Structure 1
């Protein structure tokens, strides 16, 4: 019997780090608990924003499911199997355990069955009452059924379908199913199984699902290999209890979800785990959607959802409007759950019909508008945790590219993302410890109740906030009116923690935006922030404590903030008298002529914040502007080489944690941060 750990244990593996005293054995972790005590790739985040290093326990496919020996069994011999030769409207059975009647072949006993030939309007039925394993070999078959599933597995202990090496196999169903009575709604897929189902082998299987789903198992669904092509009127691949993929070349075109699990009543089920393979998914709704946990160890993925990012909902950004909250757009159950507020027209049939206005509602309002929920169009989505351990991903999604209703841990891999909404979103924690992330299009780049970056490389382009902790003012214009999005818990506990890696942000809204605090102890952060004076390259409500790493933040000056005056590392905040053109090089040198930093912002800027371990208390420095550098450039930051032709802007001495500058020399935070500036702490207008 298949073995897999429970969904609650998966959450514990992801959230409970070694040495983490705050970790509870309770299998249910609330959002507020996760915000206050989540462990992110070597970081524990506490209520006061302090960070303590711990080691995160990683979650992999082997933690979720154990593949049985027979899952990989592709062998068979003619003398120990039953041969089934399909011949148009009938079949010839040579052996025991199966019979052909009225165009259908029914298998009633455990054993091995070898199928070949064409069944023009019939069905393969498995009805094995002894709960044994039925292993059948698709050895070059073409099975069509005009009014039901092509393969209907009614009962068996387990079924294994082997795609014989070198063969091409195809199954298709009709656009309309005929059921025994109105209470019957199964089968509902071209290949349908009420038992655990495994597909293995190296052959090819083409599935044309004209009625509903392509391949569905009401238990466990495992795919070990083979080439599988699916075109589905609704979902491509569905496993109720789990979907586990060892390898394969999978191509899915689905009006609904590409790959999904559906068990939302048992916490130890409803997950998806993928070890390797090549996946090409075009889905009207979500690309890969796990009801509970999604774990990906490797593979190559091309995912397009909802027609791509160009079909994302039109939103109004956080143009200096303050700190709003946003409600979630899609939950674990197919992206649609009570409490969401998506209201645009679904791409496919809605799972939840519009509510009928009640009499009570009419007494308090003269007009009640019935709301329907929008189809979820996310790339990778989970109602629980997402763990990406490796893989190559190209995602073009109308909604979030990677979305978790709980936590996301990204330890390795390469992600190329274009999103109509968030690039990466978690309701609780986003933990990035490795890999390379390129978000070339998004509304908000990386968003979570807490975000911790300890390694890897992340490049973010956003039309609103680049990195957003605990939400912002994000309204979607749907049906002629605004609509709230993405809710988080109390922002007091929310922290953006950066302890390593490289983060580059190009944001139209705020660059780094935390409704709580920011803690930075390592890594390199480059922000090419807004040109709009209503936003800032840095925006935080609590404090920004920096003790290590390199920070460069360029942008508009109207709402500029620097690091907090409680920081252990020195920072310089310069406000230029006029807007500087994009590409204008600036260099900061010490009194001995050593370059502290040479940088060319990619956008127009008037405010520049620099924090480096090389800035020393009592040190004398000079800022230059213009000129050129012969050094090696990456994301506007130059290393080595020679800087020439620049003009001196200002010389100064560092005597405090944050040195505020204009062209005349050292000034105060109030001069630089606009009306209501927050003094030495660098707070912007309340």
Structure 2
């Protein structure tokens, strides 16, 4: 089934909830800051009800299906009517309208009613508390420095909504105690039990010495400002959602950078990044962690986690770049990740549909337990263990380049490196495969790779394009610079493998050669050379009239090449020439033009026939 139309089913990790139906798509309301999330899932767990999600959903559809974020309707203020609170080191004073709603007890300042309060000065060891039931309280920070040795710097323990505005040109610092009790409810330098909005054009530095930097048990919306967070644990945490509309946000944290952790409400627990600049560095946490959905439609997001791709994550640490529990949609903006674990990860499905993505990973560059759809945008994987991994991978557009030390594209189940991650992960029967389900000594699972448009360039040391189920190419350009070693192949497909359109060049070793199957509608050739040729060699496919059909420059040592284009006819003979010249534009080594010149013929093959020792339409290698 085409993954574009396929609806995925993922098992819930929320125990005890009733069965859910697929959510309908509604209209966005309010200020356009929506909510996302279907239901938190974990395909590695058992039991529970199911929910259907699709990687083909747009960001708007995902957001409209779930809880709407609160509106940012109080991001400006009138200083002439606001209450003024002046902090004086170990005490404070209040003046103006509403000053009667401010209680001061030494260095403890408590606000008890709705209104706008402008704060300036410092508290060397104190706290500002909001205790105003059902009220909307606006705090304007106009050059404050609040430190507390016993708890949070600012704690909204009772309110309906809290807005924190940094005044234009102001610099503000909040820091809390260096330890909290295990069961402490207030456990962040800036803490709220109500919907929290951060706005303004000033600067805010938050030091979460004892736990989190900024946290709310409701929703969090950031509309502007320059925010710097240093946190022992999570940097910025919103229970129901975290929405970033704009602003410059820099986070250094021991735990997760940005986190939404409501795993009890299927319409909450999401992260929505619409704009701004977000930079996250974590030591033992994920860059962005959404219990349900993660949506990026704009802005620039950069995450370095666990020391980056050259480091090894701790056994108990999750140091993924951007992670979702149900669905990730990267529809716009710029995303840059350097992660010791997966760079982009979803426990359900993921869609790269317009963002510009640059990834370096110590594990998978992009991992989804179910569907992975690439339809628009640019994806550049500079280094990874495995490049793209999911049960069902569809490329229907965009420009994707993958570099991996193991498989480049892998349609499989489970996590890389596990012994039981998929039924067909065992070693094949030897060079060229041989016997067994799928022709490669491996079982054929419910996995698929589907390519209909776009460009996909793979540079792999393991298998190049690998499916533990089926694979089909109907359009686009696919270039596989496969392994030089004979233990893997440029192509490895356990089940049916068809090429019905587009352009395919797969070059690599001759140890485990896989070719398209006889059900392919487009002609193809598979040629094994009598010896491996070195990187930089120009390899050309030539028809009987000496017309050059394809010109490819080897990116590494090559002994087998599989080529399929609309110009190849089944049953006709084609020759492989070495040493010609390439010209024009190049995609992964495949050039738009080339001349034979002084090239010499190395092999002659018949289109539609597998190379000697190879397999047509089935596996031949291992995962």
TM range, smaller chain:
0.7 to 0.9
5 Å-filtered alignment, 1:363-378, equals 374-378=316-320
Structure 2 CA distance, aligned partners of 1:521 and 1:29?
A: 32
Structure 1 CA distance, aligned partners of 2:23 and 2:317?
A: 27
TM score, norm. by length of structure 1: 0.78
**Structure 2 residue 131 is the aligned partner of structure 1 residue 127:** yes
- Out of 581, 584, 588, the position equivalent to 2:541 is 588
**Structure 2 residue 485 is the aligned partner of structure 1 residue 532:** yes
5 Å-filtered alignment, 1:278-293, equals 278-284=277-283, 285-293=285-293
Q: How many angstroms does 1:583 deviate by? A: 1.4
* 1:491–1:392 CA distance, 2 compared to 1 (3 A): farther
- Out of 566, 576, 598, the position equivalent to 1:613 is 566
8 A contact 2:581–2:594 mirrored in 1: no
**Structure 2 residue 454 is the aligned partner of structure 1 residue 518:** no
5 Å-filtered alignment, 1:308-457, equals 308-312=308-312, 344-345=314-315, 374-457=316-399
Structure 1: gaps of 5 or more residues: 1-6, 15-25, 42-54, 314-343, 346-373, 476-482, 661-668
Match of 2:89 in 1: 88
Structure 2 CA distance, aligned partners of 1:103 and 1:591?
A: 91
Match of 2:299 in 1: 299
**Structure 2 residue 161 is the aligned partner of structure 1 residue 158:** yes
8 A contact 1:64–1:273 mirrored in 2: no
Structure 2 CA distance, aligned partners of 1:9 and 1:226?
A: 39
* 1:100–1:201 CA distance, 2 compared to 1 (3 A): same
Q: How many angstroms does 1:96 deviate by? A: 2.9
5 Å-filtered alignment, 1:103-118, equals 103-118=107-122
Structure 2 CA distance, aligned partners of 1:40 and 1:98?
A: 51
3-state secondary structure, aligned to 1:522: coil
Deviation string 1:316-359 (CA, Å, 9 cap, x unpaired) is xxxxxxxxxxxxxxxxxxxxxxxxxxxx45xxxxxxxxxxxxxx
Number of equivalent positions: 567
Structure 2 CA distance, aligned partners of 1:279 and 1:63?
A: 25
- Out of 613, 617, 621, the position equivalent to 1:672 is 613
Q: How many angstroms does 1:685 deviate by? A: 6.8
3-state secondary structure, aligned to 2:500: strand
8 A contact 1:470–1:494 mirrored in 2: yes
Structure 2: gaps of 5 or more residues: 1-18, 27-37, 45-49, 425-442
3-state secondary structure, aligned to 2:502: strand
Match of 1:470 in 2: 412
Q: How many angstroms does 1:601 deviate by? A: 1.6
Q: How many angstroms does 1:270 deviate by? A: 0.7
Structure 1 CA distance, aligned partners of 2:311 and 2:87?
A: 45
TM score, norm. by length of structure 2: 0.85
Structure 1 CA distance, aligned partners of 2:420 and 2:120?
A: 53
3-state secondary structure, aligned to 1:134: strand
Q: How many angstroms does 1:97 deviate by? A: 1.4
Structure 1 CA distance, aligned partners of 2:303 and 2:519?
A: 45
3-state secondary structure, aligned to 1:591: coil
Q: How many angstroms does 1:589 deviate by? A: 2.2
* 1:9–1:27 CA distance, 2 compared to 1 (3 A): farther
8 A contact 2:92–2:106 mirrored in 1: no
Q: How many angstroms does 1:76 deviate by? A: 2.1
8 A contact 1:236–1:254 mirrored in 2: yes
Q: How many angstroms does 1:79 deviate by? A: 3.8
Structure 1 or 2: larger helix share?
1
3-state secondary structure, aligned to 1:510: coil
Deviation string 1:623-669 (CA, Å, 9 cap, x unpaired) is 21113224333321111353422102234554xxx234xxxxxxxx5
3-state secondary structure, aligned to 1:96: helix
Match of 2:261 in 1: 262
3-state secondary structure, aligned to 1:408: strand
